[in-house]
Copies of this chain bind each other. A is one copy, B any other.
Amino acid sequence: MKKAYKEMSKEELSALQTELKAQYEKMKEMGIKLDMSRGKPSIEQLDLSSPMLDVLNSHSSFKGSDGMDLRNYGVLDGIKEAKELFAELMECPTDHVMVGGNSSLNIMYDLVARAMVHGIGGNEPWIKQEGIKFLCPVPGYDRHFAITESFGIEMINIPMDENGPDMDMVEKYVNNDPKVKGIWNVPKYTNPAGVVYSDEVVKRFANLKPAAPDFRIFWDNAYAFHHLYPDNKGEILNIVTECEKAGNPDIYYELCSTAKVTFAGAGVAALISSPANLAEVKKQMTIQTIGHDKLNQMRHVLFFKNAQGVHEHMKKHAAILRPKFEAVLNCLEEELGGLEIGSWIKPLGGYFIAFDTIEGCAKRVVELCKGAGVVMTPAGSTYPYKKDEKDTSIRIAPTLPTPDELKKACEVFVLCVKLASIEKYLQTA
């Protein structure tokens, strides 16, 4: 059992600091250049889907099931075959599915933009309602927060634990404050903490009684099929079913995408919501576009055939990603276990590991890493306005580098965590 840093005397810490500083200098000399900052799939993962580019070629039939030519104009909300694939994947009726372009982020942005300008469900446009707010479970996805920030929507932090957001707080805000219009969620394998929302949390979401009639849950199910352990999957309750059971059929917008199933730049995104919500979206969307790329939708359908095809494919992703996550997790455990200078959850899926330093150290760790050639996501970026008041949250993205690179990068990282923690203890001692 190692001794926790907080149990060490100032002298012990100083001696250790001298030793670690020497190690740090050595590492700097090694000229390492590694990147654990980006949640991007690796080349091996992308290669899994390259055969998808062969399923449509100049000799293909370009007829959709209803006889329409997929190369021509038309079909605002996605081809029938793609709707059926997503409906099976997301376990909802086909009439709850709209299939879009290559980006679920774009769908979410447009949902917020339309609510700002046109309003939701006949209510006043958000831009005309002063002081509107979104709830933001933290740590969360920086691009969600960037959307609400760009529209001047006030963001309120909601703490999360291993079951999901603090639902007492969510209910207090949503059920009482008509200015609260939405909440961002990544319900399965949260970005970055890897949390899987518990059944109770999902049920409490579905049973919200919003003070605002134009309140919506943004349910970004970005990692719905992105398991690391196909035999030990994270499972969440189905938001569609739960909201219907609760008599709240229109309260949610669920998003999903194949960006991290096939190609990050050329996948297909979908919006899952009630037929009433989709009708409202389509009414406005028909002004914006004639339709999305139906050929790429059909490529996905022909490549996967059905949900089972996607799940088999995701097992291959898991086989590539598991050793990467484990390289980081093993290093964290071996090097930091027992020192009480950091905590993390071992994720069962998704794209990130969230690491918490002791208070006031995250920025310094990232800075030290950079000095030794390891790029981390900027500290604070998982909080609204990039403000992590306690300065503890670091996002580790292990998908892009190789396991060997990750091992090396993680050695630098843990050393920097140790150094930053000692600095902090010596300052406050």
Contacts and interface: CB of A to CB of B under 8 A. Distances in A.
Interface of A: 38, 40-41, 43, 46, 49-54, 56-58, 60, 62, 69-75, 101-103, 105-106, 109-110, 113, 116-118, 127, 143, 146-147, 150-151, 259, 263-266, 284, 287-296
Contacts of A46: 62, 69, 71-72
Sort A-B residue pairs by CB-CB distance and give the 5 closest, nearest first.
A50-B58, A71-B263, A109-B288, A73-B264, A46-B71
A68 to B, nearest CB: 10
Contacts of A295: 53, 263, 265-266
Contacts of A292: 102, 265
Oligomer copy total: 2
A297 to B, nearest CB: 9
Given A147-B287, A265-B73, A293-B266, A113 B105 contact: no
Given A53-B60, A102-B101, A105-B289, A263 B113 contact: no
A116 B288 CA distance: 14
A302 to B, nearest CB: 12
Nearest to A105: B289
Given A54-B58, A293-B296, A146 B102 contact: no
Given A293-B296, A295-B266, A43 B57 contact: no
Contacts of A106: 288-289
Contacts of A296: 266, 293, 296
A103 B263 contact: no
A23 B291 CA distance: 41
Contacts of A293: 101-102, 265-266, 293, 296
